[in-house]
Amino acid sequence: MKPQLNSMPSLVCISNYFETSYFSTWQEALKALYQSDRIGAELDRFIQYNIVMRDILRQKGIEALLDEIFTIVPKNSISPLTIRYITKYWTENPIADYDIQMYHIDDDITILGHTFHGLNGVRQHCEMLASQGSHLLCFPTKEHIPLENIHVGIIDKSYPKFDSYDYSDTRCYENYIFAPKPITKEQMQQYANIKLESNYCMVHEHIPAEYLPILYYVGEGPYMVLATPKLSKLTQ
């Protein structure tokens, strides 16, 4: 089972280690992760949610990628069990040919040529909302700031309710979709039917190309993940 986004530590700003623009090279980012003493717990996410790591994995394979990683950090800093899991997982599950990058929810992100100022910057432009319950409810939002050449929709699902104490919980799993033309209810339904991973997450290694880009927020914590078509070349 893949690690869940909401299991990430709150005391370490690990988005710095995933967003390589904070560092001049991926090697420096990896060293920073090692120095945080979180490398054993975070290496798998560092690989999956870092564009440069994804590029190396796609071109060279997981064993060659791990060999490169262990020229930067000591191999004994990661448990043999974790190494076996990562090797087995990425051998059996090929990485997709698009980018997935983790960001802090306050980071600027550029999607379809428009720069959004953090997660709230995306939310204020949502023109269509679909909520998943026993069935999908879809309707236009009452208030949003329109953009000229980009349209935003959100498909969400409330956190599970186990008892009466949970009914005051307003958190939702949030998937944001983007299109150059106004988003229709039919499009929202099509997106809602694509493969989902746990926590109602649409960002994974099996997104049909025509549905990119997609932004996912688990509903709490400071991180979000963005899947976009492959644009950059391998950088080392």
Query: What's the Cα-to-Cα distance from 6 to each of 3, 155, 163, 223, 224, rounded to whole Å?
Result: 9, 19, 21, 9, 10
% of the chain at pLDDT higher than 90? 53
Q: Quick one: pLDDT at residue 18?
A: 53
Alpha-carbon span 46 to 33, nearest angstrom: 9
Report the alpha-carbon distance of residue 185 to residue 126 in Å, rounded.
13
Structural tokens at position 223: 């991180």
Looking at the fold, whether 163 and 114 belong to one and the same domain comes out as: yes
The reply to whether 108 and 80 lie within a common domain is: no
| Count of domains for the chain | 2
Residues 106, 197 within the same domain: yes
Domain boundary among 70, 95, 120: 95
Q: What's the distance, Cα to Cα, between the start and end of the chain in Å?
A: 29
Q: Is residue 200 part of a domain?
A: yes
Question: Helix/strand/coil (H, E, C) string of 38-53?
Answer: CHHHHHHHHHHCCHHH
Instruction: Please check whether residues 76 and 124 belong to one and the same domain.
Output: no
Strands (E), the chain: 99-104, 108-111, 114-117, 126-132, 136-140, 151-158, 172-179, 214-217, 223-228
**Residues 194, 108 share a domain:** yes
Question: Residue 14 has what pLDDT?
Answer: 42
Q: Which domain holds residue 174?
A: 101-228
Question: What pLDDT score does 115 carry?
Answer: 95
138 in the same domain as 53 = no
Structure token pair of residue 183: 């988003």
Q: What is the mean pLDDT of residues 79-85?
A: 94
> Model confidence at 93, in pLDDT bands (50, 70, 90)?
very high
Same domain, 74 and 173: no
Cis amide linkage into residue 213, ω under 30° from 0: yes
Residue 76 placed within a domain: yes
Is residue 107 in a domain? yes
Same domain assignment for residues 18 and 57: yes
Tokens of 108: 């600027």
d(CA 110, CA 18): 16
Shared domain for 76 and 157, answered yes or no, is no
Q: What is the pLDDT of residue 235?
A: 42
Domain co-membership, 70 together with 108: no
Q: How far apart are CA 152 and CA 142, in angstroms?
A: 14
| Residue 129 shares a structural domain with residue 192 | yes
Please give the pLDDT value at position 3.
38
Residue 13 clears pLDDT 80, i.e. is over it: no
- Does residue 54 fall inside a structural domain? yes
Tell whether 76 and 126 lie within a shared domain. no
Residue 236 lies in a domain: no
- The pLDDT > 70 percentage for the chain reads 86
pLDDT in tens, 23-54: 667 888 888 888 888 888 888 888 998 888 89
Residue with tokens 């997450």: 201
The amino acid at residue 150 is I
Lowest mean pLDDT among 101-110, 120-129, 159-168, 190-199: 159-168
